[in-house]
């Protein structure tokens, strides 16, 4: 069958999702005959939060071919080695979910099995001591991986970024417009559907202008202007697994050098984030309004800031879950219009990125073959399912029972996938990763161990090496991690030397 290529794409929305999509399409389609337009409304604005990322964003930046130091400067960015979870297992407890691994695997067996075996023999050093990212984070240090140090932990430093979301969108806008994307300012008032196919034909702005396209990417945020308001796709509500439904966000003044990690502190009916940037600190309180009032949530947020608040808190409401179809007819939802699972593990920007990657693999022609659409929806749902289960683990595996909220969370329902993961770890310390699952074995291990799940056993092969040999290797790894941390500069010095943002960031704004 002859291919009838898509000739025009309209991206609806210019938040992080809209501009990431525009930048990627502009880069990938390059000089091909594809008209890429984006419409956004300054009057409506963007959600304006979304400041912490995970390491996969490096792949997105690499695909765009952007210079990392320039990107960090332009977004007031800092580096992120992981997330510190404070008060999650119990009040007063803290652990870090790092981006790098623990120790090094031996004889094909994951490192932590040797540590578990040593623990049973009375070894006292905690697992986090074997992870360079955790030690460096606690010491406020940062370095990019050193290419010629492959045999040292310094050669394997995994990291992500923390940045100002509005500056990120502005940065990508300059990138996309520079590569031919046309931006239209205006508020969409109506959507026109084809009476026969039900496909979206075009959108009409308040000023009467109509924009038509073959393919529409809905990046309009929670409102889901096309995917929901026009196509009535439906929403799968995940509140029974992820009960938080509100957030208050507020920036505060920096009071010291920015830490190279995000902090998530559990509160009585939710949790509070702290994301340090070069020019300020982003803060927010994510909570369940069934268990706490907005006023009390705001008080908790404002009385737990490192420095003075820079404005009044911004209130956000959401329902965790996702559209019943992420791609429906000729409309693909990317970003908050597709779904939201709360920001505990900074996954939303990654879900935008993976949505774009899947779109590139399954990019349609004007026939919009249902096989491609179904595959996109199947793979996206699978990714959402796995992320949800990882988030649920944080809430459910807690010793906290000091509030109604935490007592509720301790009894959250388990999916088969999560039940299987828990049983595997509890029995013999094994962690497994499904194909295409976002979070790897190290991430699961970090949170399982951090939340206090203790395995009864370990991999049987670890006894083959002999206790003395294992002890010697553990000491050697510990020494290498500590020596590596000593060689790293402070996070603040690294930024000052490589990518300090100019005092007047306006220089960089669109």
Ligand X SMILES: Cc1cc2nc3c(=O)[nH]c(=O)nc-3n(C[C@H](O)[C@H](O)[C@H](O)COP(=O)(O)OP(=O)(O)OC[C@H]3O[C@@H](n4cnc5c(N)ncnc54)[C@H](O)[C@@H]3O)c2cc1C
State the binding site for 7-chloro-L-tryptophan. Answer: 80
State the binding site for FAD. Answer: 14-17, 336, 349
Closest by alpha carbon to 319, among 252, 409, 415, 236? 236
Query: How is the beta sheet containing 210-212 ordered, strand by strand?
Result: 188-193, 200-205, 210-212
Alpha carbons 25 and 360: distance in angstroms, whole number: 8
Closest CB to ligand X among 40 and 84? Answer: 40
Strand pairing class (270-276; 281-287): antiparallel
Closest CB to ligand X among 192 and 486? Answer: 192
Where do the H-state alpha helices sit in 258-342? 294-302
User: Catalytic one among 27, 80, 325, 329?
Assistant: 80
Taking the complex as a whole, the smallest distance from the CB of residue 351 to ligand X amounts, in Å, to 7
State the binding site for L-tryptophan. Answer: 345
Taking the complex as a whole, the smallest distance from the CB of residue 185 to ligand X amounts, in Å, to 9
Alpha carbons 436 and 382: distance in angstroms, whole number: 9
Angle formed by the axes of helices 57-64 and 16-29, to 10°?
40
Give the torsion through C-alpha atoms of 398, 399, 402, 405, to 10 deg: 20
Taking the complex as a whole, the smallest distance from the CB of residue 71 to ligand X amounts, in Å, to 16
What does residue 64 show for φ and ψ, rounded to 5 degrees? Answer: -75, -20
Closest CB to ligand X among 162 and 377? Answer: 162
Closest CB to ligand X among 101 and 346? Answer: 346
State the binding site. Answer: 14-17, 80, 336, 345, 349
Closest CB to ligand X among 342 and 449? Answer: 342
Closest CB to ligand X among 354 and 484? Answer: 354
| Positions that interact with ligand X (CB under 6 A) | 13-18, 39-41, 44-47, 49-53, 165, 187-188, 219-221, 223, 225, 247, 249, 284, 316, 318, 335-337, 343, 346, 348-349
Taking the complex as a whole, the smallest distance from the CB of residue 434 to ligand X amounts, in Å, to 21
What number of CA atoms fall less than 13 Å from residue 374's CA on the CB side?
Answer: 3
**Active site includes 324?**
no
Closest by alpha carbon to 425, among 398, 451, 444? 444
Tokens 């699972």 sit at which residue?
341
Strand pairing class (82-86; 262-267): parallel
Q: Which helix (H) or strand (E) holds 234?
A: none
State how far the alpha carbon of 281 is from the alpha carbons of 138, 249, 289, 303, 441, in Å.
18, 11, 25, 15, 30
Alpha carbons 184 and 180: distance in angstroms, whole number: 13
Taking the complex as a whole, the smallest distance from the CB of residue 238 to ligand X amounts, in Å, to 15
Angle, CA of 436, 379 and 62, to the nearest 5°: 60
Number of Cβ atoms within 10 Å of the Cβ of 397? 20
Taking the complex as a whole, the smallest distance from the CB of residue 258 to ligand X amounts, in Å, to 15
Sign of CA dihedral 221, 225, 229, 233: negative
Closest CB to ligand X among 43 and 506? Answer: 43
> Tokens representing 205?
């702005």
Alpha carbons 171 and 369: distance in angstroms, whole number: 34
Taking the complex as a whole, the smallest distance from the CB of residue 394 to ligand X amounts, in Å, to 15
Number of Cβ atoms within 10 Å of the Cβ of 75? 27
Q: Which residues are marked as active site?
A: 80
């Amino acid at each position: 069958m002859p291919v009838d290529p898509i000739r025009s794409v309209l991206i609806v929305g210019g938040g992080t999702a809209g501009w990431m999509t525009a930048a990627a399409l502009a880069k990938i389609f390059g000089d091909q005959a594809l008209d890429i337009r984006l419409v956004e409304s300054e009057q409506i604005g963007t959600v304006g939060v979304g400041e912490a990322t995970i390491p996969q964003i490096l792949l997105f930046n690499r695909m765009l071919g952007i210079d990392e130091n320039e990107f960090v400067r332009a977004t007031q960015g800092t580096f992120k080695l992981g997330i510190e979870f404070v008060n999650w297992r119990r009040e007063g407890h803290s652990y870090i979910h790092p981006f790098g691994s623990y120790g090094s695997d031996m004889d094909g067996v994951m490192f932590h099995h040797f540590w578990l075996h040593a623990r049973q023999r009375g070894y006292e050093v905690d697992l986090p001591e074997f992870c360079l990212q955790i030690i460096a984070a606690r010491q406020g240090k940062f370095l990019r991986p050193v290419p010629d140090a492959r045999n040292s932990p310094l050669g394997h430093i995994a990291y992500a970024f923390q940045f100002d979301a509005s500056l990120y969108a502005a940065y990508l806008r300059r990138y996309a417009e520079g590569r031919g994307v046309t931006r239209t300012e205006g508020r969409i008032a109506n959507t026109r559907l084809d009476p026969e196919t039900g496909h979206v034909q075009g959108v009409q702005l308040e000023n009467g202008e109509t924009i038509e396209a073959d393919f529409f990417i809905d990046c309009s945020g929670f409102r889901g202007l096309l995917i929901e308001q026009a196509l009535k796709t439906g929403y799968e509500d995940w509140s029974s697994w992820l009960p938080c439904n509100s957030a208050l966000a507020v920036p505060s003044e920096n009071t010291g050098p920015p830490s190279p990690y995000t902090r998530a502190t559990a509160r009585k009916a939710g949790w509070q984030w702290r994301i340090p940037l070069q020019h300020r600190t982003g803060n927010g309180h994510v909570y369940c309004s069934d268990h706490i009032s907005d006023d009390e949530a705001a008080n908790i947020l404002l009385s737990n800031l490192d420095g003075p608040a820079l404005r009044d808190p911004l209130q956000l409401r959401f329902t965790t879950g996702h559209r019943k179809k992420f791609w429906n007819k000729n409309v693909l939802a990317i970003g908050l219009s597709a779904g939201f699972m709360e920001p505990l593990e900074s996954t939303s920007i990654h879900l935008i990125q993976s949505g774009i990657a899947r779109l590139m693999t399954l990019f349609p022609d004007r026939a919009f073959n249902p096989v491609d659409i179904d595959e996109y929806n199947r793979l996206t749902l699978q990714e959402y399912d796995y992320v949800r289960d990882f988030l649920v683990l944080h809430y459910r595996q807690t010793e906290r029972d000091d509030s109604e909220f935490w007592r509720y969370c301790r009894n959250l329902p388990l999916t088969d996938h999560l039940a299987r993961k828990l049983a595997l770890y509890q029995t013999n310390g094994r962690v497994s990763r499904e194909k295409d699952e976002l979070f790897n074995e190290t991430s699961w291990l970090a949170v399982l161990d951090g939340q206090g799940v203790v395995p009864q056993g370990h991999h049987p092969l670890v006894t083959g090496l002999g206790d003395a040999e294992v002890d010697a290797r553990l000491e050697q790894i510990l020494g290498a991690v500590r020596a590596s941390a000593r060689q790293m500069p402070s996070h603040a010095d690294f930024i000052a030397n490589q990518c300090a943002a100019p005092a007047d960031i306006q220089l960089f704004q669109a």
